[in-house]
Amino acid sequence: MTSLRSRLLFAFLLVGLAPTSLLAVRVVERVSRAFEDAARERLDNALHASLLRIDRIASRAEQQVLAIATLDLAVAPDGDERGLAEGLGSRRDLAAFEIVADDGRVLVSRHWPAGSGLPETGRAFPGPRPLRLEKVAQGYGAAESLAVMPERPATWRGARVIVRGGAFVDAELLEDLSTATQARVGVFDAATGQWYTPPESPLREWNRPALTGTSGEITLGDRPWRWASEALAPGLLLVAAVPRSDLDRVLLALRHDTVVAGLLALGGALIAALALSRRLSRPILELAAGARRVAQGDLERPVSADGPDEIGELSRAFNAMTDDLRSSRERLVQAERVTAWREMARRLAHELKNPIFPIQVSLDTLGRALDRDPALFAGLFRESSETIQQELRSLRRIVDEFSDFARMPRPSFAPVRLNTVVEQTLALYRDRSPTVRVESKVEEGLPPLSGDRDLLARALGNLVVNAIEAMPEGGVLRVGTRATAEGQMLEVADTGPGLSEDQRTRLFTPYFTTKAGGTGLGLAIVQGIVSDHGGRIEVESIPGQGTTFVLLLPGATGAPGNL
Amino acid sequence: MRRALLLALLGTVTLSAAARAAFGPSYGGSATIAVPFVPQATGPGLGASTVERLVLGLVHATLLEIGPDGSLRPGLARSWASAAQGREWTLELDPAARFHDDAAVTAAPAVRSIRRFLAGGTPAARRLARALEADGVGADESGRLVLRFRDATGRPLLPLASFACAVTGARGAAAGPFIPTLAIPGSRLALTSFAGHWRGRAYLDGLTVLAVPDDARRHADLSAGRVDLALGEPGVQASATTLLLVLNSQQAPFDRVATREAVAAAIDRVALARDYIPGGVPTLSPLPPSLSGTSGAGGVPRGGRRLAGAITLAVATDVSPAISQRVVAHLDALGLHVTATPVDPSAARTAATEARLFLFAPEVADFGIATQEVAALAPPGPAVVIPLAAVPVSVGARPGVHGVRIDAAGRASLEDAWVER
């Protein structure tokens, strides 16, 4: 998560995920609430419609009972009481019909003819609705059924009676209500714990209804239900229930769809984030690569600067900077080249002038001697010719050194163990000065690196010679190697007089020397060799304490022991 | 002219129909009788219900029969005689008697059938078993059936008239006037007349016993001519059964005498018989009037005693639902919550419920045997067996169907039934 691209990706995902999640939660919550409200409304409608239907039944039955009490009984024939109950009930469409005497005996009954002549056993519910619990003939016995039975006093056969008739709130009616209202409708008698429902109604599984309150949820069988109730009469509740599974099913589908939509959105955000972060990071990465190239001295390859945005502006500025650097470097190189040529010319003139002058003097002396004293000439000739020979050798050495510098070969790379180079080189110089103690401290197990053994030995030799020569009064020369993060390091330190700041800055300039007889090419050769190996030289020097040259060479070429 | 011809033709048709009835029975044709249910099996048995007794009478034959006057009549045994001062009885089998598989009815299957009967443990069988010597059933050299009794008793051969003692052959074949050819348990039983019946083949070629559980539907089917005969419909009848309410004195709430007495006193037998049982008579005797010779209103019902509790009433399916509902209404008026459960008639006699309601017809139309049979219905105790009404066994027939008989034991016999054709 440290790269700009990762951070951009994370930010995009976060930005995409948070609103999507919030939206999903909000949508599910709103839909849930909407469904809850719809379920509640559905239950309320079911209860309202059921109550309305029951009240209509009661109202219609009241009219029919009134008609029987005031019209039909007056003209009813005597005898066949069972036929009378069936006839009147059938004609007035009253499934429940009975005439009850003043003393409470059932005189005739359509729905429970077996009870005729016996005390009535029906139970009336208190309240404005004419609800009763009546015995109804069923099979070999009777069943109790809830009935809407308004009643009217009447006179029949000279006696005061009560005419009662209506319809049953039975399975058929409740099934009809359930179908019409799309809810399960039932009636619960709290006094007896009895349900009145269609045969297959799940409400029958509600053994001990906790019908406190007017609505709630309950699990019947293995399904959750939402229910609501309304009092038909004290202790008699009309209950409507709808399966919660409908709501759950929709919510499940909604959650599923939301998750899918969220994942799609996330996927889209991810793709967009990848594309955008790539588009943003690519020029930045390219800038970084360009910067690394510039740091390595490559000023020839500009970065692409196509975009119109800030990154493009930055790239263009980077390229302009690179161009400026390249121009400056060219100017600097040109200036350095001129300076170097001047220095070389000055040094060459100086170097050549030193031997030429004795030669010229010797030749002048020989000429004068030849003119003045030929006998002297012979003595001078021998002496002068030695001088001339000596200076000519000096000239030759100078020419050879310049020739060597000019003819510095290109390195021939092969696996080289740096420690071996150190050992072999120090063996050559260890006894060069009796006053200088040579110490080596190499790191064991350094792997081979890619390099030219001879050139590296030459570079090390130049440094060792310089160090020894810098300690004419004696001192300690320390040569060491060790591994670094970039490769391997060769360190040569002396305890000589050290270098001034000016000397240190001009140290690698060709033909710059602090020694009386030096050509100033030794360190230039060292720098050339190290540069050809892709490395660099660092110099630390404290005047009066010594100087340390550090050669940093790039990485190993293979595992230890390959050579 | 045309009108005269038409009237003449109509008169001829009418006269010919009347003439056919006047000429008497004729062979051929088939009939369907509607019954409340069809028994699951047709093997020899007690015949707890009118339907079972009807089917047993169609399929099986007994050694002896009981006449309307209660006297023994020949069955498969054409004569019988006693010896050893009334302790040994010899029955001579009718040589013409054949089983449905055409095997002769001999002493061997008769002996085997009597032994099966004795092992069955019906009231009549128990009485015969008590009276017989050990291994007292056998045959003599002449192929006659011999029964040896411990003591000389009055009418010792009466149990042999039980349908549980019907004689069957070695392969289970019966010897009655009809052969079962198709049985759909609970729904339909088809029979064909047995040509080899020793009394001569029945008039009908075939007979179908059809289950029509609903009383009104049976009535309607008979009225519409969809069936030829219907059990329980007005027609030929005999007051041969008693409606009994048996209370289980071992279970609450009838473990209290007062409760049982309250139930016995609360049921209005007169209204029950009058309004719910066509041809019914209120009675205080558990035996049918043909055996008890008595019937009565049983006094004025006393209501108002409030009881409490819930009971299950096992109701035999040959009891009309209207009758059952009336009894339930009485119990309900007393304050009992009654759940009525229909059960098979034979199961109703032994159902382990708080109360049972069924029609009782004695296994054998004999006062002594029937009394023992009633005693076996419930443990002794006051008002445990509550007789409610004498209920006639009746068979209604559509016009053109004749010859149906019902004996004193409530057996509807179609052996001599015939249809006008």
Chain segment A496-509, per-residue pLDDT in tens: 988 888 777 777 76
Cβ atoms B167, B109 nearer than 8 A? yes
Cβ-based contacts of A79 with chain B (< 8 Å): none
Cross-chain Cβ contact A139/B342 below 8 Å? yes
Look at residue A273 in the predicted model and tell me its pLDDT. Answer: 77
Cross-chain Cβ contact A118/B303 below 8 Å? yes
Look at residue B13 in the predicted model and tell me its pLDDT. Answer: 43
Look at residue A561 in the predicted model and tell me its pLDDT. Answer: 35
pLDDT digits (tens, 9 = 90+) for B371-399: 888 888 876 665 689 999 999 899 999 99
pLDDT digits (tens, 9 = 90+) for B127-137: 899 999 988 99
Longest Cα separation, chain B: 84
B7 falls in which pLDDT band (50, 70, 90)?
very low
Mean pLDDT of chain A: 82
Question: What is the number of alpha carbons within 13 Å of residue A347 lying toward its C-beta?
Answer: 21
Cross-chain Cβ contact A141/B340 below 8 Å? yes
Look at residue B15 in the predicted model and tell me its pLDDT. Answer: 44
Coil vs helix vs strand at A363: helix
Q: How far is B127 from A301, CA to CA, in rounded Å?
A: 131
| Stretch A267-289: mean pLDDT | 79
| Stretch B301-322: mean pLDDT | 82
Q: Residue A40 carries which side chain, given as an amino acid letter?
A: R
**In chain A, what is the straight-line distance between the N-terminal and C-terminal CA atoms, in Å?**
42
Instruction: DSSP letter for A309, please.
Output: S
Cross-chain Cβ contact A140/B342 below 8 Å? yes
pLDDT digits (tens, 9 = 90+) for A82-98: 788 888 899 999 999 99
- Measure A116 CA to nearest chain B CA, in Å: 9
Q: Residue A409 carries which side chain, given as an amino acid letter?
A: P
Architecture of domain B236-392: Roll (3.10)
Look at residue B357 in the predicted model and tell me its pLDDT. Answer: 95
List Cβ neighbours of A78 (8 Å cut-off, separation of 6 or more): A157
Cα A473 versus chain centre, distance: 67
Number of Cβ within a 10 Å radius of residue A248: 14
Cβ-based contacts of A137 with chain B (< 8 Å): 321, 325
- Is the model's pLDDT at A562 over the cut of 70? no
Mean pLDDT of chain B: 86
Closest residue in A to B317 (Cα) is A140
- Is the model's pLDDT at B77 over the cut of 90? yes
Cβ-based contacts of B332 with chain A (< 8 Å): 115, 118, 121, 135, 142
- Is the model's pLDDT at A382 over the cut of 70? yes
Residues in B 292-321 with any Cβ partner in A closer than 8 A: 303, 313, 315, 319, 321
Q: Is B269 on the interface with A (CB under 8 A)?
A: no
A481 falls in which pLDDT band (50, 70, 90)?
very high
- Is the model's pLDDT at A563 over the cut of 60? no
Q: Is B278 on the interface with A (CB under 8 A)?
A: no
- Measure A123 CA to nearest chain B CA, in Å: 13
pLDDT digits (tens, 9 = 90+) for B326-363: 999 999 988 899 999 999 888 888 888 999 999 998 88
Cα B207 versus chain centre, distance: 18
Look at residue A61 in the predicted model and tell me its pLDDT. Answer: 94
Look at residue B191 in the predicted model and tell me its pLDDT. Answer: 95
pLDDT digits (tens, 9 = 90+) for A19-49: 777 877 887 788 778 777 887 888 888 899 9
Cβ-based contacts of B322 with chain A (< 8 Å): 113-114
Cross-chain Cβ contact B325/A114 below 8 Å? yes
Residue B350 sits at φ, ψ, to 5 deg, of: -120, 5
Coil vs helix vs strand at B192: strand
Per-residue tokens: A123: 């139970």
- Tell me the domains of chain A and their CATH numbers: 11-244 (no CATH), 299-407 (1.10.287), 414-554 (3.30.565.10)
Cβ-based contacts of A194 with chain B (< 8 Å): none
- Is the model's pLDDT at B10 over the cut of 60? no
Is there a cis peptide before residue B253, judged by omega within 30 degrees of 0? Answer: yes
Look at residue A285 in the predicted model and tell me its pLDDT. Answer: 80
Q: Is A297 on the interface with B (CB under 8 A)?
A: no
Look at residue A478 in the predicted model and tell me its pLDDT. Answer: 93
Residue B13 sits at φ, ψ, to 5 deg, of: -65, -45
Look at residue A204 in the predicted model and tell me its pLDDT. Answer: 80
A516 falls in which pLDDT band (50, 70, 90)?
low
- Measure B361 CA to nearest chain A CA, in Å: 21
DSSP assignment string, B91-135: EEEPTT-B-TTS-B--HHHHHHHHHHHHHHT-HHHHHHHHHEEEE
Percent of chain A at pLDDT exceeding 70: 91
Percent of chain B at pLDDT exceeding 90: 46
- Measure B259 CA to nearest chain A CA, in Å: 19
- Is the model's pLDDT at B164 over the cut of 60? yes
Q: Is B333 on the interface with A (CB under 8 A)?
A: yes
Per-residue tokens: A404: 């060597």
Cβ-based contacts of A82 with chain B (< 8 Å): 275
**CATH number of the structural domain B61-165:** 3.90.76.10
Say which range, A64-73, A333-342, A364-373, B268-277, has the weakest mean pLDDT: A333-342
- Measure B224 CA to nearest chain A CA, in Å: 21
Q: Is A473 on the interface with B (CB under 8 A)?
A: no
- Indicate the residue of B271, B324, B330 with minimum beta-carbon distance to A140: B324
| From-to residues of CATH 3.10.105.10 in chain B | 236-392
- Indicate the residue of A116, A117, A141 with minimum beta-carbon distance to B328: A141
- Indicate the residue of A119, A140, A142 with minimum beta-carbon distance to B315: A140
Give whole-number Cα distances, B80 to A485, B76, B228, B365, B408, in Å. Answer: 135, 11, 38, 19, 22
Cβ-based contacts of B324 with chain A (< 8 Å): 140-141
Q: What is the ipTM of this complex?
A: 0.81
Look at residue B415 in the predicted model and tell me its pLDDT. Answer: 87
Say which range, A89-103, A199-213, B101-115, has the weakest mean pLDDT: A199-213
Return the residue in A81, A140, A145 with the most chain B beta carbons within 10 A, the one to mutate for interface testing. A140
| From-to residues of CATH 3.90.76.10 in chain B | 61-165
Cβ-based contacts of A109 with chain B (< 8 Å): none
| Nearest of A496, A486, A416 to residue A458 by alpha carbon | A416
Question: What is the number of alpha carbons within 13 Å of residue B209 lying toward its C-beta?
Answer: 36
Look at residue B227 in the predicted model and tell me its pLDDT. Answer: 96
- Measure B232 CA to nearest chain A CA, in Å: 17
Q: Give the angle B228-B230-B236 at the CA atoms, nearest 5°.
A: 100
Look at residue A259 in the predicted model and tell me its pLDDT. Answer: 79
Return the residue in B245, B332, B334 with the most chain A beta carbons within 10 A, the one to mutate for interface testing. B332
List Cβ neighbours of A184 (8 Å cut-off, separation of 6 or more): A178, A197, A201, A202, A203, A225, A240, A241, A242
| Stretch B296-307: mean pLDDT | 59
pLDDT digits (tens, 9 = 90+) for B245-292: 999 888 889 888 888 888 888 888 888 998 888 888 888 888 887 776
B301 falls in which pLDDT band (50, 70, 90)?
low
Coil vs helix vs strand at B186: coil
Cross-chain Cβ contact B332/A135 below 8 Å? yes
Look at residue A26 in the predicted model and tell me its pLDDT. Answer: 81
Count Cβ atoms within 10 A of the Cβ of residue A177 and give its class: 0-12 exposed, 13-18 middle, 19 or more buried: buried
A340 falls in which pLDDT band (50, 70, 90)?
low
Q: How far is A380 from A386, CA to CA, in rounded Å?
A: 10
Look at residue A130 in the predicted model and tell me its pLDDT. Answer: 93
